[in-house]
Amino acid sequence: MRMRFLLDENLNPRFKSALLHRDPTIDVLQIGDAGALPRGTLDPDILIELERTQRALITDNRKSIPGHIVDHFAAGGHHWGIFMIVQTQVSFGQLSEELYLLWEASEATEWIDKRQWLPL
């Protein structure tokens, strides 16, 4: 099963465009898109939605999301991968290339309950 992505609402929408430019068949939504959670959704609710929809989260939220992940696990929850952007100076092209390679070379189940920093 291919990975499916959910982009944090704070990420520039050009990131989604860059990812889809690599391959338009990539299943990627951004919070606030039609069919995705509305903007302003709280982190705990995002984690529940990730589990329900089997999507990996791409976020630059390094402050609050780690604590919410711990709480989510403590409540018996799981997720389909959390990819945390470390450097804000990284180009959309570089990040989209790395996610494309992950999407192309791995199965969604390989990322269950794992966190990965981006860039790799």
Taking the C-alpha atoms of residue 14 and residue 36, their distance in angstroms, rounded to an integer, is 17
Helix (H, G, I), strand (E, B) or coil at 21: helix
Tokens of 56: 């990996």
Structural domains in the chain (count): 1
At residue 88 the predicted structure's pLDDT band, cuts being 50, 70 and 90, is low
Tokens of 12: 């520039």
CATH number at residue 107: 3.40.50
Say what the pTM is.
0.93
Tokens of 15: 């990131």
Helix (H, G, I), strand (E, B) or coil at 42: coil
Of 20-24, 39-43, 59-63, give the lowest mean pLDDT range: 59-63
The domain in which residue 59 lies consists of 4-118
Question: Is the model's pLDDT at 64 over the cut of 90?
Answer: no
Q: What distance, in Å, lies between the first and last C-alpha atoms of the chain? A: 22
